[in-house]
């Protein structure tokens, strides 16, 4: 994550699904094409997973 990207918050650009528990979160697309869920501390799902897949892109 670059120093210009916030660690949480921002405008949604996609809808991300946790690959472990299938929880759904609004997300931003990172500079390298990854997903950063909005409102989650350090991009970690409430189940502890850090991997997400895009299910809808804005």
Residue pair 55/24 in contact by the 8 Å Cβ criterion: yes
* Domain membership flag for residue 8: no
User: Per-residue pLDDT for 48 more than 70?
Assistant: yes
* Domain membership flag for residue 9: no
User: CA nearest 53: which of 41, 35, 38, 32?
Assistant: 35
* Total domains in the fold of the chain: 1
User: Per-residue pLDDT for 57 more than 90?
Assistant: no
Which of 4-8, 9-13, 14-18, 37-41 shows the lowest per-residue confidence on average (mean pLDDT)? 4-8
Dihedrals phi, psi of 26, to nearest 5 degrees: -70, 150
User: Per-residue pLDDT for 34 more than 50?
Assistant: yes
Report d(CA 16, CA 55) in Å as an integer. 6
Tell me which residue range forms the domain holding 51.
14-57
User: How high is the pLDDT of residue 2?
Assistant: 45
User: How high is the pLDDT of residue 3?
Assistant: 44
* Domain membership flag for residue 1: no
The stretch 23-35 carries a mean pLDDT of 92
User: How high is the pLDDT of residue 8?
Assistant: 53
* Backbone region of residue 22 per phi and psi (left: phi > 0; alpha: psi in -120 to 50; beta: other values): left
User: How high is the pLDDT of residue 6?
Assistant: 47
């Amino acid at each position: 994550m670059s120093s210009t990207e916030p660690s949480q918050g921002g405008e949604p650009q996609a809808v991300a699904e946790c690959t472990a528990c299938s929880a759904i979160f609004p997300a931003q697309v990172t500079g390298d094409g990854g997903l950063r869920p909005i409102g989650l501390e350090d991009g970690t799902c409430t189940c502890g997973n850090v991997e997400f897949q895009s299910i809808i892109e804005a």
